């Protein structure tokens, strides 16, 4: 009598596993304030030096601090109403152009003493670009790349919410 025995194999059955396709979310963030596009472009083109009664003074000189640009172009009037939103680098591709951004202290408060506020203009490899005015120059486009210190480090910027 011949008995058939199942063959044994030391090889595991071959199975192809397809990992799910990971899609990057490209939906824009909603509920954000955006700044006046035309006004911002004109301010950049003219390298305007902006002033606002609620912006901090730059000492010495006749310039106002960076938040003057956000006050003038984004229809907000007090940094006391600003709150720390999403980290710019974490959601860069989802931030609408002309969204106000700033550095914030760890407790979530914006301070013009050492802080910077500006208007988001888009993502670039390893950073982003934004419109900004500082105590030494008018409104200009600045590119921030990973590796800078505090206000020159793109990871320290957050969307401004109010």
pLDDT (average), residues 22-41: 84
Measure CA 44 to chain center. Answer: 19
Does the pLDDT of residue 11 top 90, yes or no? no
Whole-number pLDDT of residue 4: 45
Cis upstream peptide for 60 (omega within 30°): yes
DSSP structure string for 130-152: EEEEETTEEEEEEEEETT--GGG
pLDDT in tens, 90-115: 999 999 999 999 999 999 999 988 89
Using CA atoms of 47, 121, 69, 42 in order, give the dihedral in degrees to the nearest 10.
40
- CA atoms within 13 A of residue 136's CA, in its CB half-sphere: 0
The more confident residue out of 6 and 43 is 43
pTM of the model as a whole = 0.82
């Amino acid at each position: 009598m011949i008995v058939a025995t199942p063959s044994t194999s030391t090889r595991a059955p071959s199975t192809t596993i397809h990992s799910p396709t990971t899609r990057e979310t490209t939906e824009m963030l909603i509920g954000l304030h955006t700044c006046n596009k035309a006004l911002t472009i004109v301010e950049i083109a003219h390298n305007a030096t902006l002033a606002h009664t609620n912006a901090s003074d730059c000492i010495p000189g006749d310039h106002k601090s960076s938040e003057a640009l956000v006050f003038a172009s984004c229809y907000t009037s007090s940094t006391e109403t600003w709150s720390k939103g999403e980290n710019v680098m974490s959601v860069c591709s989802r931030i609408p152009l002309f969204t106000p951004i700033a550095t914030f202290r760890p407790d979530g408060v914006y301070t013009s003493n050492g802080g910077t506020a500006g208007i988001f203009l888009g993502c670039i490899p390893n950073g982003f670009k934004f419109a900004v005015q500082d105590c030494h120059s008018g409104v200009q486009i600045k590119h921030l790349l990973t590796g800078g210190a505090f206000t020159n480090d793109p990871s320290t910027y957050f969307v401004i919410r109010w």
